[in-house]
Amino acid sequence: METLYFNDWAHSYSDKNTGLAKRFADEFRRSLHLAKDSERGRTLIISAVDNDYRGLQLDRTAEKDIIRIKLNEPLGPGESAKLFITYNVKLPPKKYTDYGYTNRNSYYLKDWYLTPAVFDGEWQLYSNHDLEDLYTGVTNTTINITYPSRLFIASNYGVLGNTEFPNGQQSQLIGKNRKSCEIILEPENRFVTHVTNQMTIVTDIDAPKYDEISQGISILKISEFIAENLGQYPHSQLLVSEIEYRKNPLYGLNQLPRFIRPYEEQFQFEMKFLKTALRSILNESIYLNPRKEQWVNDAIANYLMIAYVEQYYSDQKLLGKLSNIWGIRSFNLAKMDFNEQYPFLYMLTARRNQDQPLSTPQDSLLRFNQKIANKYKAGLGLAYLASYIGKDKVDSSIKTFYKFYKKNRVKTLDFESILKRSTDIDINWFFQEYVSTDRRIDFKIKEVEKTEDSLYVTLKNKKGTNVPISLFGLRNDSVVSKYWFNNIEDQETFTIPRNGEERLVLNYDQKIPEFNQRDNWKSLKGFFSSNKKLKFTFFRDSENPYYNQVFYVPVLNFNIYDGWTPGLRLYNKTFLERPFVYDVAPSYSFREKAFVGYGSFSYRQYLNKSGLYVANYRIRGSTSHFDVNSRYSTFTPSMSLGWRPKDLRSNKRQFLSFRYINIFRDLDEGLIAAGNAPDTPDYSVFNARYINIDNNIVDYKSWVLDFQQADKFTKLSLEAEYRKLFENNTQFNIRFYAGKFLWNNIDPEIDFFNFALDRPKDYLFDYNYLGRSEETGIYSQQIIIAEGGFKSILDERYRFSNDWIATVNTSVNLWKWVEMYGDLGYVKNRGVDGKFVYDSGIRANLVTDYFELYFPVYSNNGWEIAQPDYGEKIRFIVTVDIKTLIGLFTRKWF
Spell out the SS3 assignment of 780-820: HHECCCCCCCCCCCCCHHHCEECCEEEEEEEEEEEECCEEE
Residues paired with 444 in a beta bridge: 460
Whether 67 is covered by a domain: the verdict is: yes
Q: Give CA–CA dist 233/407, Å, rounded.
A: 10
Please name the helix (run of DSSP H) or strand (run of DSSP E) that holds residue 449, with its range, or none: strand 443-450
The end-to-end CA distance of the chain, in Å, is 42
Q: Write the pLDDT tens digit of every residue in 843-860.
A: 998 876 678 899 999 999
- Give the pLDDT confidence score for residue 161 in this predicted structure: 79
DSSP character at residue 2: -
Q: Give CA–CA dist 259/783, Å, rounded.
A: 41
Residues paired with 191 in a beta bridge: none
Whether 233 has a pLDDT exceeding 60, the answer reads yes
* Predicted TM-score (pTM) of this structure: 0.90
- Give the pLDDT confidence score for residue 424 in this predicted structure: 94
Last residue of a domain, one of 481, 496, 528: 528
Q: Give CA–CA dist 293/291, Å, rounded.
A: 6
Q: Are strands 183-186 and 152-155 parallel, antiparallel or unpaired?
A: antiparallel
Q: How many domains does the chain have?
A: 3
- Give the pLDDT confidence score for residue 802 in this predicted structure: 94
Whether 255 has a pLDDT exceeding 90, the answer reads no
- Give the pLDDT confidence score for residue 674 in this predicted structure: 59
Whether 228 is covered by a domain: the verdict is: no
CA angle 415, 417, 418 (to 5 degrees): 65
- Give the pLDDT confidence score for residue 849 in this predicted structure: 66
CA 211 to chain centre: 36
Mean pLDDT across the chain, nearest whole number? Answer: 91
DSSP symbols for 347-365: HHHHTTT----TTS-GGGS
Whether 864 is covered by a domain: the verdict is: yes
Whether 71 is covered by a domain: the verdict is: yes
Whether 851 is covered by a domain: the verdict is: yes
SS3 38: helix
Q: Give CA–CA dist 377/356, Å, rounded.
A: 10
Mean pLDDT of 758-767: 89
For residue 727, the tally of other CB atoms under 10 A from its CB is: 10
Q: Write the pLDDT tens digit of every residue in 263-309.
A: 999 999 999 999 999 999 999 999 999 999 999 999 999 999 999 99
Whether 403 is covered by a domain: the verdict is: no
Full domain range(s) for residue 116:
1-100+110-137
Q: Write the pLDDT tens digit of every residue in 531-562.
A: 778 889 898 888 888 888 999 999 988 888 88
Mean pLDDT of 351-380: 94
- Give the pLDDT confidence score for residue 817 in this predicted structure: 83
Q: Write the pLDDT tens digit of every residue in 661-677.
A: 999 988 777 666 655 55
Please name the helix (run of DSSP H) or strand (run of DSSP E) that holds residue 491, with its range, or none: strand 491-497
Q: Write the pLDDT tens digit of every residue in 20-33.
A: 999 998 888 888 88
Whether 604 is covered by a domain: the verdict is: no
- Give the pLDDT confidence score for residue 883 in this predicted structure: 53
Whether 717 is covered by a domain: the verdict is: yes
Q: Write the pLDDT tens digit of every residue in 639-659.
A: 999 999 999 999 999 999 999
- The answer to whether 461 and 489 have CB atoms below 8 angstroms apart is yes
Sequence-separated (6 or more) residues with CB below 8 Å from residue 696: 25, 26, 28, 651
Mean pLDDT of 469-495: 93
